[in-house]
Amino acid sequence: MAVNRSVEDGCVAIADMRRIVRLAGSDFEGFFQAVAVDSAQLLGADAAALIVQDADGMMQYRFFYGSPDIFQRDMRAFRFSPESGTVGAALREERMIFTPDYAASPNAMKTFVEYGLQANLVVPVQQGDGEGPQAALAISWFKTKPERAPTVAQQEMIALYADFLQAGLARQAMIDAWKQQANRDTLTGLPNRRALMAYLAAAVERSRRQSAPLVVCLMDLDDFKPINDTYGHAMGDTVLMELAYRLKLVVRASDMVARLGGDEFVLVLENVTSSAQMETALERIHHVVAQPYVLPGGKTVSVGMSMGLTRYPQDPADPDCLLKHADKALYMVKELRDKSASFWHCWQEGDHHLSEGDNGLHCE
């Protein structure tokens, strides 16, 4: 009977693990929650958390299970060095570390003591390439200290859960990379139309909420086709890549540059509060575009630019219409080429036809 009971328990454990692995492919947060619940229950702990290294190399909480609400609320923005605390010790030594009395540990961090952490077990989550830990599973006791240390069998099960997390993190990183590629122009690395429309929707909402006007600019290059015709498309691509680099340098971190395709680019300039500020930004853009481009082999070429733009909320349209209005304004620049030296035009109601004496090249 004991053997049958053991077999039955083993089948239940295998079923639980299969359930957890299936979640890794579809719902990473649900996957972590399943790992956290099983880990905490296995050890009689109160809580578990996944702590990961961010882009700056600092450790930051990503998911929580079971920890006090105030701890979760405050720790979401808390970052600490990968050298600090019991997490740092586990990462350095690349092994799980059990701390039965956290406050008495030389590795204790004052912040966690103040939040009532009694004890923890920290398990490094290894990178897939073996270069070292990139995350940690922290299993915690807040209400009381554990009665005993985890058994060898329990430690082996927790190590298996850490392996599951490593696989889940690797899969999530791959998915994130795929999403990044789907939102990038393959030639220039700039955001593509898909990424632009998502960004523009968020930018319009920020503008509305903060009463901070934004400018949507659609530009294309003048005299670009002769470069392709004379020197070949590879040389034209060189010009486009250099242009993308220059545009990224000339705009602010809060602005966006995207490529729609061909020689068409979109710039979204946020928090542009005056016509003078806008015109200064446009002149900077024009200046970098007009600088000569050196092709492989030393040949130098130059291009001009035309730009149509619209301003929100003066133009209270949705993102799709803002882009269409900028496109209409770009058409007006080209239509007025013989009448005005300006390289840009701002969309306004009635732009379908401009009177012969109206250059329409300023929006106040």
Average model confidence (pLDDT) for the chain? 86
Instruction: Tell me what the mean pLDDT of segment 178-204 comes to.
Output: 90
CATH fourth-level superfamily of 193-346: Reverse transcriptase/Diguanylate cyclase domain (3.30.70.270)
CB atoms within 10 A of CB 108: 17
pLDDT at 22: 55
Highest mean pLDDT among 72-81, 168-177, 345-354 belongs to 72-81
- Which of 263, 315, 320, 327 is an active site residue? 263
Task: Provide the pLDDT for residue 362.
Answer: 39
How many residues in the chain? 364
Q: CATH assignment of 2-182? A: 3.30.450.40
**Is residue 128 very low, low, confident or very high in pLDDT (cuts 50, 70, 90)?**
low
User: In whole angstroms, what is the distance from residue 10 CA to residue 2 CA?
Assistant: 12
Do strands 47-53 and 119-126 pair parallel, antiparallel, or not at all (unpaired)? unpaired
The answer to which of 20-24, 98-102, 152-156, 275-279 has the lowest mean pLDDT is: 20-24
Whether the bond between 313 and the residue before it is cis, its omega within 30 degrees of 0, is yes
Which string of DSSP letters, residue by residue, matches 258-269?
EEEETTEEEEEE
Using one digit for the tens of pLDDT, what is the confidence trace for 226-239? 999 999 999 999 99
Q: Roughly how many angstroms between the first and final C-alpha of the chain, as a whole number?
A: 87
Q: Would you call 263 a catalytic residue per the annotation? A: yes
Alpha helix stretches (DSSP H) within 211-335 = 225-231, 233-250, 275-290, 319-335
pLDDT at residue 1, rounded to an integer: 38
Q: Which helix (H) or strand (E) holds 339?
A: none
Q: Using the predicted structure, report yes or no on whether residue 364 has a pLDDT greater than 60.
A: no
158 pLDDT above the threshold of 60 = yes
In whole angstroms, how large is the CA radius of gyration of the chain? 29
pLDDT tier, 177 (very low <50, low <70, confident <90, very high otherwise): confident
Rounded to an integer, what distance in angstroms lies between the CA atom of residue 334 and that of residue 5? Answer: 82
Do residues 59 and 81 make contact, with C-beta atoms less than 8 angstroms apart?
A: yes
Q: Is residue 30's pLDDT more than 70?
A: yes
pLDDT the model gives residue 15: 56
Query: How far, in Å, CA of 291 to CA of 303, rounded?
Result: 8
For residues 63 and 34, the answer to whether their CB atoms sit within 8 Å is no
How is the chain split into domains, by residue range?
2-182, 193-346
